[in-house]
Amino acid sequence: MIDVYSWPTPNGRKIHIMLEETGLDYMVHAVNIGKGDQFKPDFMKLSPNHRIPAILDHDGPDGKPIGLFESGAILIYLADKTGRFLPEEPRAKYETLQWLMFQMGGVGPMFGQSNHFSHYAVDKIPYAIDRYHNECKRLYGVMDKRLGEAEYLAGDGYTIADIATHPWAQGFERRDVDITEYPNVKRWIEVIHERPAVIRGNEVLANERSSGNFTAEEREVLFGKTQFEKH
């Protein structure tokens, strides 16, 4: 049984979808990041970076419980545990890890900054808005080229690289990206969107999904001094 500490953001949804795809037994515990649950000591024992998602697998590799944070590490762990969505053959495996890291180091952080400066920042700073909007479009372009050569990011099969990237890529409207300029990404988004496990994973904690219109208290927790205090 796996305890999942999460919230219905793209990084949380990756794990909800992977758990649904693999059929593992899990229980979700909501960590309301707008209310500051990410700073609670029990959660921070699992996730010292005070970010969701985190998991506690009571049946770790040595039979003992194991806690993990960072969605990419969790996806690799769950893939290893089940033998699903991360090929064993070395070439295919590293191809998958390469595109997973592209999501973790590129798509996630850049799309996140674009959301921040375009939607959340009180000061609308044109340089920052343009910088991250252009970076988003550049990354959609990289994905489009790749998905013009291969059906999925890592090749012929659906892998943890797609599971990590799809929850971010599907939010193109919010990022003011015209997806028809990226027809291969559009095709890939639509195909993955119809997977039953993706539909189920996207429903996890769905009633908690934020409109992005944060209250003053939520803004303080997410962007204010609470973030930068010693915890």
Task: List residues bridging with 66 in a β-sheet.
Answer: 57
Q: In terms of CB distance, is 69 or 172 closer to ligand GSH?
A: 69
Q: In terms of CB distance, is 191 or 222 closer to ligand GSH?
A: 222
Q: Are 53 and 69 in contact (CB under 8 A)?
A: yes
Q: In the bound complex, what is the minimum distance in angstroms from residue 53's beta carbon to ligand GSH?
A: 6
Give CA torsion, residues 25, 84, 159, 116, to 10 deg: 30
Q: In terms of CB distance, is 148 or 224 closer to ligand GSH?
A: 224
Which residues sit at the interface with ligand GSH, rule CB under 6 A?
9-11, 33, 38, 50-53, 70-71, 108, 222
Region of 42 (left: φ > 0; alpha: ψ -120 to 50; beta: rest) is alpha
Q: Could you give the CA distance from residue 89 to residue 74 in angstroms, rounded to a whole number?
A: 20
Q: In the bound complex, what is the minimum distance in angstroms from residue 3's beta carbon to ligand GSH?
A: 16
SS3 26: strand
Q: Are 38 and 31 in contact (CB under 8 A)?
A: yes
Q: Could you give the CA distance from residue 231 to residue 226 in angstroms, rounded to a whole number?
A: 9
Q: In the bound complex, what is the minimum distance in angstroms from residue 49's beta carbon to ligand GSH?
A: 7
Q: In terms of CB distance, is 36 or 150 closer to ligand GSH?
A: 36
Q: In the bound complex, what is the minimum distance in angstroms from residue 218's beta carbon to ligand GSH?
A: 10
Q: In the bound complex, what is the minimum distance in angstroms from residue 93's beta carbon to ligand GSH?
A: 20
Q: In terms of CB distance, is 50 or 166 closer to ligand GSH?
A: 50
